[in-house]
Amino acid sequence: MYRIGVDLGGTNIAVGLVNEEFQIVQKKSLPTGADRASEAIVADIATLCREVCEAQNISLSEVDGIGIATPGIANSATGVLVYSCNLPSFLHYPLADTLKEMLGSACDVHIENDANAAAWGEAVAGAAKGTSNSIMITLGTGVGGGIIADNKIYSGFNFAGAELGHIVIEVDGAPCGCGRRGCWEAYSSATALIRMTKEKIEECAKTGRKTIMADAPKISGRTAFDAMRAGDEAAKEVHDKYIRYLAAGLTNIINIFQPEVISIGGGISNEGQSLIDSLLPQVRAEQYGGDRVALTDIRIAKLKNDAGIIGAAMLGV
């Protein structure tokens, strides 16, 4: 049995053929060309679907299901992509039906928001495997979220929910790309960490305080972590501030959902277990119900960049 997962991004389309062990056995990609007409983009998806089958020497009829992970608001019930700021030609577009028609495929075609698909991938085959209630948080350019409740993706009655990065944790705080101020994303994304790092470097420059962060050729989400490990005190302050906000947001997620597992993905998750070790004392001290209840496990996500493809492939299962 094989399934196909499509990760339709604003930059690239990646298509993977996934086997019964949830492994990607073939993978092909093309640039999205997001300013093109939707039909041209779907035609490229169809081509990539055929190519991964050919590469594996199977026919498309041996594929049991196809899923597409898309940015924006995807109506998973109708297969219509409602809106995506990264894919402007897809407004209220019947994405699932169009791909199915182009492929002449008999199997079901599902669509899902990419963050939700990634959460589903982690739940089916990754860090939250074997659980019924899990949350995935992605700490990248933004803070993404996906909710798995009772073995199903939860996205609200209009398929626009699970915007967990857009929970305000500081009323009238730092500006967020969504238009609000004080969103969790404005404090816990890699972008926010880079901002905090730059602010600290400036502050050090003004006061004549030494920090090796100032010597970094380029400031990234790793700069403060690396400098802290090298013993830099200013970097430790940036780290502690970042962890404070990240722990506050994760504790919020626990108080809301009490999931069995929270899996953390995105660039910042490359810090690995030491990130979780820094977070846990604050989370445990603050979470509602204390230790009278079974505790949510916080884990680094497993599937990395493949979570979207694997999750998409497993939609409808």
| Residues near a second copy (CB under 8 A) | 73, 82-83, 131-133, 149-150, 152, 154-164, 166-171, 178-180, 187, 244-245, 248, 251-252, 255-260, 285-286, 288-289, 292-294
Residues in the chain: 317
Measure CA of the first residue to CA of the last residue in the chain; give whole Å: 13
| Rounded least distance, CB 205 to a second copy, Å | 27
Q: What is the rounded CA–CA span in Å between residue 14 and residue 169?
A: 35
Q: Which is nearer to a second copy, 44 or 163 (CB)?
A: 163
Q: Which is nearer to a second copy, 244 or 302 (CB)?
A: 244
Q: Which is nearer to a second copy, 60 or 81 (CB)?
A: 81
Q: What's the order of all strands across the beta sheet hosting 108-113?
A: 24-31, 12-18, 2-8, 63-70, 108-113
Q: Residue 250 phi/psi, 5° resolution?
A: -70, -35
| Rounded least distance, CB 117 to a second copy, Å | 17
If one counts every other C-beta atom within 10 angstroms of the C-beta of residue 85, the result is 8
Q: What is the dihedral of CA 223, 227, 232, 234, to 10 degrees?
A: 10
| Rounded least distance, CB 253 to a second copy, Å | 9
| Rounded least distance, CB 76 to a second copy, Å | 13
Q: What is the rounded CA–CA span in Å between residue 45 and residue 15?
A: 7
Q: Which is nearer to a second copy, 169 or 219 (CB)?
A: 169
| Rounded least distance, CB 195 to a second copy, Å | 16
Half-sphere exposure of 47 (CA within 13 A, CB side): 11
| Rounded least distance, CB 81 to a second copy, Å | 12
Q: Which is nearer to a second copy, 184 or 225 (CB)?
A: 184
Using a 10 angstrom Cβ sphere, with 0-12 exposed, 13-18 middle and 19 or more buried, the burial of residue 89 is: middle
| Rounded least distance, CB 68 to a second copy, Å | 19
For residue 217, give the DSSP letter: S
Pick from 267, 278, 277, 220: which is nearest to 244 by CA? 278
Q: Which is nearer to a second copy, 26 or 188 (CB)?
A: 188
Q: Which is nearer to a second copy, 68 or 262 (CB)?
A: 262
